[in-house]
Amino acid sequence: MRQWIKPSHCEGQVSKQAHADLPDQAIYEREIGREGFYGPATHMHHKHAPTGWTDWQGELKPRLFNLNLCVCHSQLPWQQVPLLENQYCKLRFWLCENDMAQLVRNADGDELLFVHTGHAQLFCDYGHLSVSEGDYVLIPRGTMWRLDHTDNLRLLMIEATNSHFQLPDRGVLGQHAFFDPAMLQRPQIDEAFIEQQDEKQHQLIIKRHEKWSTLTYLFNPLDAVGWHGDLSVVKINWRDLRPITSHRYHLPPSAHTTFVAEQFVVCTFVPRPIETDPGALKVPFYHSNDDFDEVLFYHAGHFFSRDNISSGCLTWHPAGFTHGPHPKAFTAGLQGSRKYTDEVAVMIDCRHALTTCDGLLAAEDPNYVNSWQA
């Protein structure tokens, strides 16, 4: 897409470069943007933190859920009620403590699994694949699969309802930025896959429109002897990602986009150096992004813009209000006390409003909305 040079209006005391060299009278910058971080944007300079509210009444508020408190074991992934959902996306958190006794097939959309804890062996149409902590496993719509667990699995499941996952367009960075597609691993028709083939009774559970159908076979339908093509299950671990960084400019979350689907994107925050230029912001900037609901799942490490959020927690910031770093994180950024992030987090940005299930409310921290108070 061509980017024509266009004038930018300035009013009052401003910095000419976004996210850097802020005016002396205003240490707080707020970005008002459209279409994520791709559309028109204005940068406001404030005397006070835009998150400096002292009271909040009403449902539109930042929310924090400790998924460790609400997860329960189930034999099948779809026995877990969606935690958050809209017509394009469904999020589940699944605890799998036993081998799956049945095969499953999602006829509603592609499934993206993020392995929060545990190890397992995945058997699917395409063969056998070992999966472990930190893996993304992309399962195309209509794929038969099951898991044999090595130890207890906790999985964040992201369904692209009536859609599919693709890789983002990296633009001028080129297709090999963030991760080279050659890093994607695929299942193999190996000895383990051949050994699991038998002539015993097997059942397949198919989900369509959130309703289940059960098919019974007198043989294992995972009986492929070979395949060729460019559609398959793939996996990549967060450790294989090479974050895009700039020592002079704080990059927006869109720089960390890992997968895209219709009306939402999945981004991954992984350890990286913090900006070193004296004038550059060193924490995420305050922003009023009024087009997307933002969901963050905290996998590991210390999320450098948040306080007191532990592994296995999930935050949900609905569209419509300004959000940004907590006061302690913002102060640490100004002081330049941290040189490197150790966070690992999965972000899901949804173009359409999400709704939550009643079961998630028991895991909510009602004081999260007050955590921006200095």
Domain positions in the chain are: 28-65+241-370, 71-238
Residues making up the annotated binding site for homogentisate are 323
Write down the catalytic residue from 19, 128, 202, 250. Answer: 250
Indicate the pLDDT class of residue 335, thresholds 50, 70 and 90.
Answer: low
* Binding site members: 287, 293, 323
The confidence score (pLDDT) of residue 42 equals 79
Q: Do domains 28-65+241-370 and 71-238 have the same CATH topology?
A: yes
**What mean pLDDT is predicted for residues 83-110?**
94
For domain 71-238, say whether CATH 2.60.120.10 is its number: yes
Please report which confidence band the pLDDT of residue 194 belongs to, taking 50, 70 and 90 as the band edges.
very high
Cα dihedral: 354, 359, 360, 362 (round 10)? 150
User: How much is the pLDDT for 304?
Assistant: 62
pLDDT for position 334: 66
HSE toward the beta carbon, residue 337, CA cutoff 13 A: 9
With contact defined as beta carbons under 8 Å apart, do 159 and 109 qualify? yes
**Cα torsion angle, 323, 48, 33, 61, sign:** positive
Catalytic, 19? Answer no
pLDDT over 90 (residue 43): no
Mean pLDDT, rounded, for 54-59 = 90
Task: Tell me which range, 98-102, 276-280, 308-312, is most confidently predicted by mean pLDDT.
Answer: 98-102
Give the pLDDT mean for 161-173: 91
Partners of 185 in the beta sheet? 235
Tell me the mean pLDDT in the region 4-27.
74
Residue pointed to by tokens 């699991």: 196
Within 189-337, residue ranges assigned H as helices are 191-195, 327-335
Helix/strand/coil percent split, the chain, to 5: 10, 35, 50
Q: Return the CATH superfamily for domain 28-65+241-370.
A: Jelly Rolls (2.60.120.10)
pLDDT averaged over every residue in the chain? 88
Range 341-347 average pLDDT: 92
Long-range contacts of 57-60 (CB under 8 A, 24+ apart): 60/318, 60/320, 60/321
The pTM score is 0.91
Least confident window among 18-27, 64-73, 356-365: 18-27
List residues forming the annotated binding site for Fe cation: 287, 293, 323
